[in-house]
Structure 1
Amino acid sequence: MPVPPLKRMVSNRGHKPGSSAVWTSSPSKTRLEDSLLEGKQKLPKAPAKSKKKREAPPTKPCKKRLKLSEDSDEEHIAPTVFSDWLEILGHYQINSVVDKLGLAMGLFLESWLSEFLAVALVVVAAVYARYSYCYSYWSKKGVPQAPTVIQFGNAGRVFLGLTRLEFMFRDLYFRFRDHRYVGVYMFTEPGLLLIDRDLFRLVFVKEFDAFSHRNINFDEKQPLNHHLFNLNGERWKRMRAKMSPAFTTGKLKMMFQTMQDCGRELVEVLHEPAKRGEILEMREIAARFTTDVIASVGFGVECHAQRNPDTEFRQWGRKIFEPTLKTRISSLMYRFFPAVAKALQLKNSASGKSGFFRKMVEDTVEYREQHGVVRNDFLQLMMQLKNKGFIDDESKLGTQETDKWKFTMDDVAAQSILFYAGGFETSSTVTSFALYELALNQDIQKRLHEEVDATLKEHGGQFTYEALVGMKYLDKVVAETMRKYPPAGLIDRKCTRDFQLPGGGPRIEKGMVVVVPVYAIHHDPEYYPEPQRFDPERFSEEQKATRHPYVYMPFGEGPRNCIGMRLGLLQTKTGVAYMMSKYEVRRCEETVVPLQFTSMSGVLTPTAGIKLKLVQRK
């Protein structure tokens, strides 16, 4: 209903008390209206005829009805209290005030929005300019580069946990397969992904001095992080020379007897489950076996993890290698934002839980030195480096003869932890993958059974060191397993000086990272036809002779290859050989085909595990 125009109240001089006052229209505003509109004075009371004051009624005052004019029947209620005047103002003033406020607010918002948009455009332009500059590093050098995403570069899916790093490089490798290399960006840091196999040899061997550093970032304040895998430069060179004699053939033979004992226990422990045809998690079976081997060979501790899965040694192993969100974030931060990770003092899975191993090493060393105990294990060799500066008199040659540097207790503990971590994770993973492929390929398993039986018959029913090394088909099975599931899915090196890549290649600046995509190379159909097919014959002497030597690198190549490679292979072969001597693994309803891998772990780890049915051989 439309609001009527404002009326002016005019009193009748001759009206009687109690009679209604009359409201008449006025062509212009009165002073009263002006003052009301401008808010300069309060509303006056309606004028009365007589000077005699009217006594207020004892009850609440009633509102009086007023005619708008004498010739009009329309009436309004006369305002008798302040609230009534406010009601009138509500009818006649609010619309005007709201209009004014709306106009002011609109102008304000329009101005604020314009300023915000202007600032936003400047910020967006600045960000775009910065990233355009960062992501044009390789294109300016004439190097093909992978498409990038602002802020993430090429690492967005990896950082968000949507894929693994080696899978990201695999995709880029096949996308630029016809090139020798391709430029990549880890967030804003440029790197070079190598594709040409001759460049692998260049980085690992020919120009090793320019690419001798691993791209490893860690908290230097933690003494146990200073092990061989993490170190670079002269300190790495000295430590590598000191430790190399610990992995000679003679030392491996010395440790093999302990592996035999663990292999026999593996067969005994699995007797009842195999008799019942149980479905077992092979990753756990392999982990228990490897834990027993590492504990005995590395630390001289008989923990019997195969019979007691909850032993303290096994529990700490789970804590170190069990992938968690916390360790994943820490690992990614040290890889992509090392300065931030160090400032926050983030801990990786091993350094955060290494107290147990350090105390165990200290206690064992102290006990052996006090009681003159000598064992044929890795810790005893590290004690020689601590006490004498060399492993034994026979190895006191070359650099060891003049280098008087001795290990500290922190050095002994750090190398012992590396021995456990490297030996456990690699060997247990490869063993479980080998059993998985044998279960899916019964013809291959049958052939391996035949070789195992023939070897035992030839060596009096025992797996000696020479017998195991002489099993050619077992070697092929393990090699094909590491081809399909490489322990190291990629190898990266940090350039130690400015280096001009030959053949018209770009100049690689000091500190830049170059990547060798091992997983992609191992699945390249040019080198391995039908790469998803498990075929041990790929590693026959005839087929190996036809391939480039640098297209199979499960343990790396050159001076910085895995120092414990031979020990790891010996562990894996021992476990597989003993299992095949008595049992058969079969695919079951819980076996996942094909395997899916989690993005949380450092090595290839199946999301749903590896579950197989174990039965006794007939």
Structure 2
Amino acid sequence: MLQYLFVIALVLWIVVFRYRRRRMYKLASMIPGPKEELPIIGVAHTLVGNTEDIMASLQNFSYSAIENDGIIRGWLNHILYFVVVDPIDLEMVLKTCLEKDDLHQFIRKIIGNGAIFAPVSIWRRRRKILVPAFSPRIVENFVEVFAEQSTKLTKRLAKHIDNGPFSLWPFLSTYTLDSVFDTAMGVKINAQDNPDSPFLMCMNRILNLVCERIFHLWLQPDWLYKLFPQYIEHQKCLKEMHEFTDQVIKRKRKEIKTECEFKSKGEKMYDLKDYRRKTFLDLLVTLSGGEQGYTDVELREEVLTLTVAGTDTSAVASGYTLKLLSMYPDVQEKVYKELLEVFGDSDRPVVKDDLPKLKYLERVAKESLRLFPPVPFIIRKVLEDITLPSGRVLPAGSGVVVSIWGVHRNPKYWGPDAEHFDPDRFLPERFSQIHPGSFMPFSSGPRNCPGYQYALMSMKTALSTILRSYKVVGECETTAIPRIRVKIDIMMKDIDGYQVSLTRRVPYNESTKYEQNSK
């Protein structure tokens, strides 16, 4: 008898559940779904396997959306998602759907309510404080740090000259971590000298665990996750990262307090802070209101967000750029000639006035970001029905997968050669013909990443320093379409860790003398 009652109750619950969502089902039926979609589970079975398999499935969904006029729907069990690749539709989505999807809860467990991932109610206040901290006038002062760390990076790479292929990833990730720690907190973590830095190892591992949790449904419930061995490792890494950051914040609070006391005793005419480089932590404390502003926990959330996002974003983007240059040596030679025009044969460090002159290098970097965006997908909640410019309606309660990968490869906006590696598509006269929403490597709209210029400056400094000293060598690509195997690991990364070889650059004046003598 109890069994029958249970079945009846279950059936009634399903009927009521579906009745309440009848509008969602109706609107969803008007938009095509992928061929792989199955009853009940939807597309859940396609998001299994290793991180390369999952990335391949997400790419296939993006290409299906391109073929279906910019959008497809997909059920993930009972949750409805739309994959959108049309920049005109996405312009509206990114301006009106500001709430992040529930899947972000797993990364919030690491960094809390940092501005990038915070709920809208928290994000609005944090954003007002964060944006001024990333103003070009402030960010350009960090080029000195980028140059110092890039020089160290280039010296560390010297041991791999003429020694065959090796992975660039550990070198690039430690370069960006050192740069981020110095600029964000004023701390010399020296990860380049110590690649086994506990913070770096914990950060890399906990991001792996988060990615694993996002794509494996049985790891998502907190009560169930605690039964798996990954939970113990997750908490250990979290403790290491939080304790280190908390110590830095406490020390910074004391420094600021001491400085204020010194000023109050006699330094009335000059603001000493104007004569030194401020870190983001300095700025966050000051802009939030000093002692009455951010709490230590709020500061930790923002600093960890900057660290996690800033480290991997710049490292991944630089890795793809160097990989592409190894595959297309003619493009690399154009970059090198531009570097000679700016620096000559000098080995002086990069200064901020050099970066605007590196126009071709910037085009190469942007084309790399277009084809291989570090963050290929972002997800937003639809809280109210939205009618898109294309006429399709997204129902409340669904989610939008903003496929940056798909937007960047949509031939409707980029042309039939959208898959080609062509840095000159970013020439002003050509790029001005492209819809502005077609290029969004750091998202778009009110919740875009404010650190775009920071990342680009870090990239250009590192790339220019490396390429002045070394030629990056790889297997030459025979077509204009670069083939690089990728995986999803929170960010999109190269499967082999950006394997390349290096040879030392011979300055043009020396190579010319050699050629003349040989004749």
Scaled by the length of structure 2, what TM-score is found?
A: 0.79
> In the alignment, what sits opposite 1:292?
178
Q: Could you list the per-position Cα deviations for residues 535-554 of structure 1 after superposition, in whole angstroms to 9, with x for gaps in the alignment?
A: 21111112212212121111
CA separation of 1:296 and 1:529: change in aligned 2, threshold 3 A: same
Identify the match of residue 41 of structure 2 among 137, 148, 152: 152
Instruction: Name whichever of 437-446 and 159-168 sits farther off.
Output: 159-168
CA shift, 1:466, in A, is 2.2
Name the SS of the counterpart of 1:537 in structure 2.
helix
Q: Distance in 2 between matches of 1:195 and 1:291?
A: 32
Query: SS at the partner of 1:214?
Result: coil
Offset, 1:252: 0.7
Report the Cα distance in structure 1 between the residues aligned to 2:46 and 2:110, rounded to whole angstroms.
33
Deviation, structure 1 residue 504 = 4.2
CA distance in 2, matches of 1:141, 1:251: 50
Q: 2:513 aligns to what?
A: none
Contact residue 255 and residue 297 of structure 1 kept, 8 A: yes
Change (3 A) 1:127 1:158: farther
Structure 2, gaps ≥5 residues long:
1-7, 260-272, 477-481, 507-519
Shift of 1:451: 0.8
1:109-258 alignment runs, 5 A limit: 137-138=25-26, 142-147=30-35, 148-161=37-50, 167-176=56-65, 177-204=67-94, 208=95, 210-216=96-102, 217-218=104-105, 224-258=111-145
Q: Which amino acid aligns with 1:299?
A: M
Post-superposition Cα deviations, 1:292-315, rounded to whole Å, max 9, x if no partner, equal 211211222223222332233433
Which residue of structure 1 lines up, in the alignment, with residue 498 of structure 2?
Answer: 610
Aligned in 2, Cα 1:155/1:259: closer, same or farther, shift over 3 Å?
A: same
Correspondent of 1:376 among 250, 268, 278: 278
Letter paired with 1:520: G
Aligned counterparts of 2:138 and 2:27: Cα–Cα separation in 1? 51
Residue 137 of structure 1 and its aligned partner are, at CA, apart by: 1.6
Corresponding position of 2:290: 388
Write out per-residue CA displacement over residues 559-593 of structure 1, whole angstroms, 9 at most, x where no aligned residue: 1111212111111111111001111111169xxx8
User: 2:249 matched to 1:358?
Assistant: no
- Counterpart for residue 221 of structure 2: 341
Q: Which amino acid aligns with 2:63?
A: F
CA contact under 8 A between 1:278 and 1:615: conserved in structure 2? no
Q: Out of 419, 440, 450, which is 1:553 matched to?
A: 440
Which secondary structure does the structure 2 equivalent of 1:448 belong to? helix
1:60-85 Cα offsets, whole Å, 9 max, x none, are xxxxxxxxxxxxxxxxxxxxxxxxxx
Match of 1:520 in 2: 406
Tell me, yes or no, if structure 1 residue 269 matches structure 2 residue 149: no
Aligned residue runs from structure 1 range 81-96, under 5 A? none
2:128 maps to amino acid: A
8 Å contact kept, 1:365–1:383: no
The equivalences for 1:300-319 within 5 A come to 300-319=186-205
Determine if contact 2:469/2:504 at 8 Å carries over to the other structure. Answer: yes
Shift of the 500–221 alpha-carbon distance from structure 1 to 2, 3 Å rule, reads closer
**Residues in 2 aligned to 1:387 and 1:360: alpha-carbon distance in whole angstroms:** 24
Which secondary structure does the structure 2 equivalent of 1:151 belong to? coil
**2:431 equivalent to 1:544:** yes
Cα distance in 2 for residues equivalent to 1:370 and 1:169 = 47
Determine the structure 2 residue equivalent to 1:68. none
Conserved? CA contact 1:166–1:489, under 8 Å: no
Deviation at 1:225, TM superposition (A): 1.5
In 1, Cα distance between equivalents of 2:27 and 2:158? 62
Q: Counterpart amino acid of 1:153?
A: G
Contact 1:157 1:163 in 2 (8 A): no
Conserved in 2, the CA contact under 8 Å of 1:477 and 1:536? yes
Q: Which has the higher contact order (CA 8 A, sep 6+)?
A: 2
Counterparts of 1:352 and 1:150, CA distance in 2: 40
**Count of residue pairs the alignment pairs up:** 468
Give, in whole Å, the separation in 1 of the partners of 2:323 and 2:232.
30
Q: Which moved more, 1:297-306 or 1:141-150?
A: 141-150
User: 1:277 Cα shift?
Assistant: 4.1
Give, in angstroms, the shift of residue 345 of structure 1.
Answer: 6.1
SS of the residue 1:354 aligns to: helix
- For residues 478 and 350 of structure 1, the distance between their equivalents in structure 2, rounded to whole angstroms, comes to 34
2: CA distance between counterparts of 1:446 and 1:212? 43
The 5 Å alignment of 1:453-468 reads 453-457=340-344, 461-468=348-355
Structure 1 residues 497 and 361 mapped into 2: Cα distance closer, same or farther (>3 Å)?
same
Q: Work out the CA distance in 2 between the residues paired with 1:423 and 1:170.
A: 24
Residue 183 of structure 1 and its aligned partner are, at CA, apart by: 2.4
Counterpart of 2:215 in structure 1 is 332
**Structure 2: distance between partners of 1:445 and 1:542:** 22
- Which 5+ residue runs of structure 1 have no aligned equivalent? 1-121, 390-404
Structure 2 distance, partners of 1:510, 1:286, is 42
Letter in 2 for 1:470: K
Report the alpha carbon displacement of residue 426 of structure 1 after superposing the two structures with TM: 0.8
Aligned twin of 2:517: none
1:470 corresponds in structure 2 to 357
Farther off after superposition, 159-168 or 184-193? 159-168
In 1: Cα distance, 2:325 partner to 2:234 partner: 32
Tell me whether 1:565 sits opposite 2:452 in the alignment: yes
More helix by share: 2
CA, structure 1 residues 539+413, in 2 after alignment: closer, same or farther (shift >3 Å)?
same
Q: Which moved more, 1:231-240 or 1:358-367?
A: 358-367
- TM-score (norm. length: structure 1): 0.68
Q: Pairwise CA RMSD of aligned residues? A: 3.7
SS at match of 1:546: coil
For the residues of structure 2 that align with 1:464 and 1:178, how far apart are their CA atoms?
Answer: 47
Contact residue 439 and residue 585 of structure 1 kept, 8 A: yes
Percent identical among aligned pairs is: 19
- Shift, 1:497, TM fit: 2.5
Asked whether the equivalents of residues 184 and 306 of structure 2 are also in contact (C-alpha less than 8 Å), the reply is yes
Is residue 262–residue 292 contact of structure 1 (8 Å, CA) maintained in 2? yes
- CA shift for structure 1 position 420: 0.8
User: C-alpha displacement at 1:213, in angstroms?
Assistant: 0.9
Structure number, greater radius of gyration: 1
Seen in structure 2, the aligned counterparts of structure 1 residues 503 and 348 have a Cα distance that, compared at 3 Å, is: farther
Amino acid at match of 2:176: T
Counterpart of 1:533?
420
Give the match's secondary structure for 2:432: helix
Measure the CA separation in 2 of the matches of 1:479 and 1:223.
Answer: 30
